[in-house]
Structure 1
Amino acid sequence: MAKIPGRKSDLLFGDCYTFFTNPQNKFMELFGQLVQEKGPLFRIWIGPFTGTIHICSWKYAEEIFNSNIHIDKSSLYSFLHSWLGTGLLTSTGDKWHLRRKMLTPAFHRFILDGFQEVFIDKSDTLLKILETKRSQSQVFDIAPHIWQCSLDIICETAMGTKMNIQGNVSKEDAAYLTAISFAAETGLHRIMRPWLHPKFIFDLTSRGRAYNKSVKIMHAFSNKVIQSRKEEYFQFKQMELNSSLSATGRDNEVKDVGITKRRKAFIDILIEAAFAEGHEKNLLLSDEDIREEVDTFMFEGHDTTASGISWTIYLLGLHPEIQDEVAAELKEVFGEEKFKSTQKLSELRLLDRCIREAQRLYPSVPSIARKLREDVKLGDYTLPAGGELFIHVYYMHHDKEVFPEPDKFNPDNFLPEACEKRHPFSFVPFSAGARNCIGQKFAMQEAKTVVASIVNKYRIESVQSPKELALLPELILRSESGIKIRLHPRK
């Protein structure tokens, strides 16, 4: 570790004193200074015992993404275990391979096509809410409404449960969203304070107690979703059992009810796997196993996508000329139709490039962390086995060698000819390699539908410049002040 570039470390606090003595909204500025000073590969000691290695270039990340050895998540992800357990995001080894194989069919193209109706329905609800907000206030924060819409979508698609969170935000729903935000913020807070790493100490602090309370709120919400879907599953199975008729009208009716009312959802795969050996035998997946995957997808499936949508809205609001081109593209491809056709949705080339450019400038997941299983040589440096490795997607996406104007919103960066000239790992908003995001097609389909719905109805005006935003690099990249906009109806 001493041979890897880094600042002179404090014996007690390592290199993190500067970070925890400044407010969290200064983290990106302070870390950016370190990137400028030390380059694309450097070390940070978090306290006297935890050595972390940070890479900010695809030239170093390529070795890790291509590896089938360094696929374990950083041990610092253990801070999330009380919330997410060891689901697909945080698990390793055989458990991760088994769950990944089990869950991949949930994101098949045919299943995603079936979700389009839900994407449209929830986008329509969002538009009604935005119209109310627009009439009540000139400037408002659109981010909370995007988050609620995305949570509504993930509940009905992946979880198979209609929650109507946008139409009727209950105290329980609001508490869940607040709990997620607090839990995500707490991750960075705890990482940079080595004395909070031991769980028994963290749990004694006021933040630790608040975090554990947030976990209980999130688990209660997830349990409600799981129980709702399990009850429906048992009812459907009972219906199938009771209907031993041959090919009669009633038999066909039962099958039709099953198809229309029980759209195949992510959670169904978990429930079916749990009872694959029958109700009387040992469950292949316990309720806790199901919940850790549900918690993972409730978080990863709505928070990351909502972040990507919000940043796309913000950037289009800063660039009215590009936004008008997107609106024109929508008219050309869809005319007056709803955005029902996923085939036509794939023809929205400019919108696709805008969303990807938003993910370049403001990646939903700003960093990825791995645990090195064995020594690995990157350039002139040997990274030691056991080291905690951070791949900083945000800084990789702002590499001047790859993107000459790294801070400029330029959708042409994703024209086919531009993409062909770049290394594939220079743009990794959904990670890469074996542990890439299982739901990236789902996320892009949802983002296109929601953004298209808003741009089709309104001209967006963002009221904050990028310099006025304070970025919070939590588990998800957020703006501290939200996304403040004005909406103007399109003529």
Structure 2
Amino acid sequence: MDVSPTEVLLSLLLFVVAWVLFVPRLQSWYSRRSRFNSLMAKIPGRKSIPIIGDCYELVSNPQNKFLEIIAGLVKEKGALFRIWIGPFMGSVHISSWKYAEEIFNSNVHIEKSSTYDFLHKWLGTGLLTSTGAKWHSRRKLLTPAFHRAILDGFQEVFVDKSDTLLKILEAKSNQSEAFDIAPYIWQCSLDIICETSMGTKMSIQENVSKEDEAYLKSISFVAETTLYRFLRPWLHPNFIFNLTSKGRAHNNSVKLMHAYSNKVIQSRKKEYLQKLGMKSNGNSEENEDLGIKKKRQAFIDILIEAAFAEGHEKKPILSDEDIREEVDTFMFEGHDTTASAISWTIYLLGLHPETQEEVAAELTEIFGDEKIKSTQKLSELRLLDRCVREALRLYPSVPMIARKIREEVKLGEYTVPAEAELVIHMFYMHRDKEIFPEPDKFNPDNFLPEACEKRPPYAFVPFSAGSRNCIGQKFAMQEAKTVVASIVQKYKIESIQSPQELILLPELILRSENGIKVRLRPRK
């Protein structure tokens, strides 16, 4: 067959274009990949096998063995080691403040790991999962919602919901059998976040609906699924994950949670529009009627006001989707992490009756028989504050966080390559023997002022640290101390499981697989 000169020229042209466009890119990718593999090979780790990498032990065991396996790696390889999640995703794991310090002090290494991409369907790119300009603008917008004056205004809600919890626990205190207190704590905390940050009174504890229970179960399921998926590289692509039974259940859970948060948003939006209408009619009582006083301005009010405000090109600063992703983020982070901290504090006080009685004596000295309404007096509960912090040391609500490394970073004698996933294990960092000589012992004296002054700043980071620290940590501590103090004020707590009997689940939040089993006895 004859080939014309034109066809030859076109073929040569296409070849040249392909070479110019693709070969340099391929060479660049190969060069970066070679550098990545070379640096990862120098970091301690176990032998890798094709396709799976060296995460086979994590994949082949149930998730309740995750912390045990990581503990073995920490013991075997030290405070810095690597795990290959499949053939391409290299993750570096650290469990010492000496390495974490470099990350927390950086304004470069603030991007969340690709693991958080698995949360986008649920949380979108809200404050937890966003990065860059969007994260900075959201952080700036939402910071005023956690001002000290606003938190003081929330104390009344903390006390009211704690009182409701105490009434519900009263029936349990008359039983001889131990019971799991964790679900009651979770319901109380969800009740609190709905009325404070979301400005919507849900009365969840008094009337736990099937919808409420489904929402809480969905959060737990999606959290469990996220770690499950991360450890299985073949489930990373959405189109494959969505075909699995777990993927379909995950998506159904997300739909349920979105419906729940949409109900909260619409309720508050309706009140906001009523408020605007009352203002236009000159009614000066709208703040009192609707509970939207400045001192009690809810987190969601800031979002809704931004949605009605005009930004560039006269478009709303936030869309309805923007509001929902922040509401979903804070509905999760605002109740789940705090409920975890409360539950673990209750557990540890139930294991240590002497400390529990000292806390009860401190409460009597400062509050007497009064309710814990004063935030000033609450701040005087120094022993209780130390107990909560010690609970967060031993059982951090968020046991690990992960970042995406965009530039090479030197950690000790090792260089972590760009594009690596970096996992910071607070659960083990808080158990550093050099910092805490008896790392597994419950010792609130670890948080005496003189002990804290001697400690490196990043040896204890239950709320993360640096520019991406938890925006709601003061809210969480205030709520935790109020709820725990209310329980200790009324009941004696007895925990019936030893730490060795606990089965820990390091999902997005640290949980006990079998709950927190306690007995309660009235103090009077």
Counterpart position of 1:441: 474
Counterpart position of 1:417: 450
Counterpart position of 1:151: 190
Counterpart position of 1:253: 285
Computing the radius of gyration from Cα coordinates, the structure with the larger value is: 2
**1:73 counterpart = 2:106:** no
1:426 partner SS: coil
**1:358 counterpart = 2:397:** no
C-alpha change, 1:253 and 1:23, in structure 2 (3 Å) is closer
Tell me the TM-score normalized by structure 2: 0.91
Q: Is the 2:181–2:517 contact (alpha carbons within 8 Å) kept by the matching residues of 1?
A: yes
Q: In structure 2, what residue type is equivalent to 1:293?
A: E
Deviations 1:125-183 (A, max 9, x none): 00011112233552100000000000000000000000111000001111000000101
Counterpart position of 1:177: 216
Counterpart position of 2:338: 305
Counterpart position of 1:246: none
Q: In structure 2, what residue type is equivalent to 1:98?
A: S
Q: CA deviation at 1:373?
A: 1.3
1:2 partner SS: helix
1:424 partner SS: coil
Tell me the TM-score normalized by structure 1: 0.97
Counterpart position of 1:207: 246
Write the distance in 2 (CA, Å) between the matches of 1:324 and 1:339: 18
- Out of 397, 403, 413, the residue aligned to residue 436 of structure 2 is 403
C-alpha change, 1:17 and 1:423, in structure 2 (3 Å) is same
Q: CA deviation at 1:418?
A: 0.5
2:243 partner SS: coil
Counterpart position of 1:27: 66
Write the distance in 2 (CA, Å) between the matches of 1:74 and 1:293: 19
Counterpart position of 1:190: 229
Q: CA deviation at 1:256?
A: 3.9
Counterpart position of 1:62: 101
Q: In structure 1, what residue type is equivalent to 2:471?
A: I
Q: CA deviation at 1:53?
A: 0.4
Q: In structure 2, what residue type is equivalent to 1:171?
A: K
- Out of 377, 382, 394, the residue aligned to residue 344 of structure 1 is 377
1:390 partner SS: strand
Counterpart position of 1:224: 263
Write the distance in 2 (CA, Å) between the matches of 1:268 and 1:32: 44
Q: Is the 2:394–2:440 contact (alpha carbons within 8 Å) kept by the matching residues of 1?
A: yes
2:42 partner SS: coil
Match runs of 1:76-475 below 5 Å: 76-136=115-175, 138-243=177-282, 251-257=283-289, 263-277=296-310, 281-475=314-508
1:404 partner SS: coil
Q: In structure 1, what residue type is equivalent to 2:396?
A: P
Write the distance in 2 (CA, Å) between the matches of 1:456 and 1:31: 38
Write the distance in 2 (CA, Å) between the matches of 1:159 and 1:255: 16
Q: In structure 2, what residue type is equivalent to 1:15?
A: D
Q: Is the 2:172–2:520 contact (alpha carbons within 8 Å) kept by the matching residues of 1?
A: no
Which structure 1 segments of 5+ residues have no match? 244-250
Deviations 1:92-141 (A, max 9, x none): 00000000000000000000000000000000000011112233552100
2:458 partner SS: helix
Structure 1 segments of 4 or more deviating over 6 A? none
Q: In structure 2, what residue type is equivalent to 1:120?
A: V
1:70 partner SS: coil
Write the distance in 2 (CA, Å) between the matches of 1:86 and 1:370: 15
Over the matched positions of the two proteins, sequence identity in percent amounts to 78
1:302 partner SS: helix
Deviations 1:293-352 (A, max 9, x none): 000000000000000000000000000000000000000011121100000000000000
Counterpart position of 2:14: none
Q: Is the 2:122–2:328 contact (alpha carbons within 8 Å) kept by the matching residues of 1?
A: yes
Which structure 2 segments of 5+ residues have no match? 1-39
Deviations 1:240-262 (A, max 9, x none): 0111xxxxxxx543454355678
Deviations 1:430-451 (A, max 9, x none): 0000000000000000000000
